[in-house]
Chain A
């Protein structure tokens, strides 16, 4: 990996220590349209390995569209068109023969928890099975490991064969995280995961994320500015389909911002 690749036009932060790590995800001139409507325009950013990258912004800022584009869900979304370049591990994701292989390396957690209508065990074993792992013993290990990492194992270990879709909201959200971890992902993307979850569960999941950052890169889209402050190393501020600012999270909160709108949003003056 070439160090200069990290010098994306808008990040500006070029501390040498950070540059040493090659970028996990690199986005250039990303523009997303739905029909005639533009959801995101001209975004440039790069995300380093093992960082938690926060994305904050009000509704309709283009945050979710951004995640969808990274995961190449545009293929399955009618009317969604993506222009620009997204490089994952240095590979242009628009020129892949097998987008499924890409998606299987990226775990996604949705705003509303989606427990698939199968047992807790099956929920977590699904992704390994899709990869071709058939042996029960091996699956057992993966299921236990992922549920444990998602701080759910103790609560469900006695009912692994109950329906996952009938767990409580907070449990389902952690189940979703366990499922994302079962993909053994390279990149974990969370989209406003705490919307439908109680504060206690939110704190537990945040703890999980802090642990996980040692192994995976995390993109954390959040509507809670303070959540980004608690977790993210760097944070981008999206507004109305535009990436207004990217910076070290603490800078955004201490007022070291380049754009007045960022300060206003962070300080809760709108949005």
Chain B
């Protein structure tokens, strides 16, 4: 160690250092300031959610308190807001429209996305797996207005030709479109849930001589149950809240559907289609905001339950 003669430092003496311990320098204040800024941005998400609820309620509350008859609103299917004499605001048919389309979409999307997730997570490997994951991610990125357009100009004529029906804008059309839309998201959430199952579970089962499918069916799926359910719930929330695609693919007719070939109208699409014509502050306008409150609350509950269910696995 020929270098030991190099002194370690010419730094402050002990007394100066001791003074430093008390002096709050610029860095100290910058740090405090950033902590405050970052905190404010952190809680902004909460503020925005509260803000959404507040402003949507603010615009719609007038109707809820003054005119709204809960029984009529939720339990009658008559929706004729632009009737000058006696406008009717029953959202039952709209709810039926939303429910039928979302239900059919889940029927399409849940088995296929679960199957795809199992394939990607448990069977595919290497390049195939990577390619499929990228593809699924890209599919999830297609904007909803493009999906609506596809329903309108591609699915519509196809359905008319295949099923010999007069109009192809119906529950089936919107259901398929919504299903294809929700599937990539549900696939990637389900795949995450399957991947979250520790490999030692699989190894233990395989060591006992179980086949790959037995391992998946008996071990992996039960262990990933909550994550999968959470994924399905998020898919339901997605379908329930989807606007442009259902606006363009359902046919937009107020109707309680009797078959999958009936046209329907969804809650979200109603707002999108009618808000432009409604007079600001008028009754129709307030009713549309009231539907907004309803949509907000339902999706809030769906998201909350999905979150609680998914967190269930992390804790357990």
With contacts A90-B18, A186-B14, A207-B1 taken as known, whether A216 is within 8 angstroms of B8 at the C-beta atoms is yes
Bound state CA distance, A97 and B22, in angstroms? 5
Contact among B7, B9, B14, B25 with A98 in the assembled complex (CB-CB below 8 Å): B25
Evaluate contact between A101 and B20: CB separation under 8 angstroms.
yes
Contact with A along B94-117 (1 / 0, CB 8 A): 000000000000000000000000
Bound state CA distance, A130 and B28, in angstroms? 12
Contact with A along B10-24 (1 / 0, CB 8 A): 010010011011111
Evaluate contact between A91 and B3: CB separation under 8 angstroms.
no
Residue numbers in B under 8 Å from A208 (CB-CB): 1
With contacts A91-B18, A184-B11, A216-B8 taken as known, whether A101 is within 8 angstroms of B23 at the C-beta atoms is yes
Evaluate contact between A145 and B6: CB separation under 8 angstroms.
yes
Of all chain A residues, which has the CB nearest B23? A98
The DSSP consensus for interface residues of chain B is: loop
Q: Is A181 interfacial (CB 8 A cutoff)?
A: yes
Bound state CA distance, A163 and B28, in angstroms? 29
Contact with B along A173-214 (1 / 0, CB 8 A): 000000001001010000000000000000000011001101
Instruction: Find residues 21-39 in chain A having any chain B CB closer than 8 Å to their own CB.
Output: none
Q: Is A11 interfacial (CB 8 A cutoff)?
A: no
Evaluate contact between A98 and B6: CB separation under 8 angstroms.
no
Shortest Cβ distance from residue A70 to the other chain B in the assembled complex, whole angstroms: 14
Contact among A89, A100, A145 with B17 in the assembled complex (CB-CB below 8 Å): A89
Shortest Cβ distance from residue A222 to the other chain B in the assembled complex, whole angstroms: 22
Shortest Cβ distance from residue B6 to the other chain A in the assembled complex, whole angstroms: 5
List 17 interface pairs A-B (beta carbons < 8 Å), by A numbering.
A89-B18, A91-B21, A93-B21, A96-B22, A97-B24, A98-B23, A100-B27, A101-B20, A101-B25, A105-B17, A105-B20, A145-B8, A184-B9, A186-B17, A208-B1, A211-B1, A216-B8
- A-B pairs, top 7 by smallest CB distance, nearest first, are A184-B9, A184-B11, A101-B20, A96-B21, A215-B8, A148-B3, A97-B22
Identify the A interface with B (CB < 8 A).
89-91, 93, 96-98, 100-102, 105, 130, 145, 148-149, 151, 181, 184, 186, 207-208, 211-212, 214-216
